[in-house]
Homo-oligomer: A and B are copies of this chain.
């Protein structure tokens, strides 16, 4: 008997479900009308006073058994769904968000070299430009391996004001000169939007570092440059923070953004940061931008560079960033994590031979 009771009650619920469904969709159509009017009037879709009023009316009318808190929570979900619909209709979905599974931003350099196509891009070079000899030695070795993108950092963000801050514009000039010699592209960090003008003639790809990932003034300025921009996840940023930071650049006019995952701060102390390999998979799935894995700043140690590089490739990244220095122990910054030139060769040997990646 209980079973037939159950059947009856469930049938009634099914009926109510369909009535609620109908009302929800009718409600959505009305909200959409309102949205169009608001858009014309230039007001925001989000009207908290109106929401407060509606919630108050519902509370007055509620006789239970649902508590006022539950009713308010359910209607807040309904309001949010309506607003999401309005925003979608207004085409305010994030520009960086992937709409179809095959959508991808492919960045094409002046000579036709691409990032984000099926190739696996390598970006390398020393942590900072220290001298022409230093950068030349690294660039020559990278060039020999077909690497096209050279880290040429003039300004270095440092935790302490007393640490080496980079050679500045002079470093950038050196990087440009060496890159030209080997037909490479200069990738260089911009630390303040006031530097755009002086850097623009030396740089092929701007790099926004972790410490500036949430600097919206700089991000907007990067929306105005003609070069592609590499945007590095801050060690304190969520994946969502990074996506919004990219949106600042793209919404400001520059569609050519490359994301870098470089590890987040966690309680684990054997690595400097924890490389968030899942973030690479999620960024590839949720955005159409190229995604690169940085195995130097994440691990902060050289000895696991090769397995991490393999993982970055296998998880589906579009490329790899690692630091390379002719003499890591005497590097002026990040000595522990930069690969020597022989180590760089060993790493590239391993990841370019598919058989070895999975050995």
Chain B residues within an 8 Å CB radius of A115: none
Chain B residues within an 8 Å CB radius of A194: 193-194, 217
Mask: chain A, 211-225; 1 = CB below 8 Å from B; 0 = not: 110111110000000
Chain B residues within an 8 Å CB radius of A54: 13-14, 17
Contact check: which of B25, B159, B244, B316 meets A307 at CB < 8 Å?
Answer: B316
Contact check: which of B28, B37, B75, B266 meets A65 at CB < 8 Å?
Answer: B28
Asked if A314 meets B358 with Cβ closer than 8 Å, knowing A274-B278, A278-B308, the reply is yes
Contact check: which of B74, B265, B335 meets A24 at CB < 8 Å?
Answer: B74
Mask: chain A, 10-21; 1 = CB below 8 Å from B; 0 = not: 101110111111
Do the beta carbons of A214 and B217 come within 8 Å of each other? no
Mask: chain A, 33-48; 1 = CB below 8 Å from B; 0 = not: 1100100110000001
Chain B residues within an 8 Å CB radius of A92: 162
Do the beta carbons of B278 and A304 come within 8 Å of each other? yes
Contact check: which of B19, B29, B238, B271 meets A268 at CB < 8 Å?
Answer: B238
The distance in angstroms between the C-alpha atoms of A157 and B270, with both chains bound, is 22
Do the beta carbons of B2 and A41 come within 8 Å of each other? yes
Which single residue of chain B is at the shortest CB-CB distance from A211?
B214
Of A56-64, A136-144, A173-181, which stretch is located at the interface? A56-64
Whether a CB of chain B sits under 8 angstroms from the CB of A107 is no
Chain B residues within an 8 Å CB radius of A64: 25
Do the beta carbons of A237 and B236 come within 8 Å of each other? yes
* Besides the known contacts A16-B23, A192-B192, A212-B214, 20 further A-B residue pairs in the complex with CB atoms under 8 A apart: A9-B30, A20-B20, A20-B75, A20-B78, A24-B71, A48-B332, A73-B77, A74-B78, A161-B252, A191-B215, A191-B217, A192-B217, A194-B194, A235-B236, A274-B274, A280-B307, A281-B307, A307-B314, A354-B354, A354-B355
